[in-house]
Amino acid sequence: MIRLSDISFRYPSGNFQLGIQELLVTAGEKVAVIGPSGSGKTTLLNLVAGILTPEKGSVSVGDVEINAQSDTFRRDFRITKIGFIFQDFGLLDYLDVQDNILHPYRISGALQLTSDVRNRAKELAVQMGITDKLRRHPSELSQGERQRVAICRAMLPGPKLILADEATGNLDPKNKVRILELLFENMAHHNATLLAVTHDQELLPHFDRVVDFSGFLRGENP
> How is 66-125 classified by DSSP, letter by letter?
GGGS-HHHHHHHHHHHEEEE-TT----TTS-HHHHHHGGGTS-TTS---HHHHHHHHHHH
pTM for this model (two decimals): 0.90
Mean pLDDT of the chain: 89
> Predicted confidence band at 137 (pLDDT cuts at 50, 70, 90)?
very high
Closest among 126, 200, 134, 189 to 162, alpha carbons compared: 189
| Arithmetic mean of pLDDT, 143-148 | 87
pLDDT in tens, 12-51: 887 888 889 999 999 999 999 999 888 899 999 999 999 9
For residues 210 and 41, is the Cβ–Cβ distance under 8 A?
no
Q: Is the dihedral of CA 52, 53, 59, 65 positive or negative?
A: positive
Domains of the chain with CATH codes: 2-217 (3.40.50.300)
pLDDT in tens, 159-194: 999 999 987 777 777 778 887 888 888 888 888 999
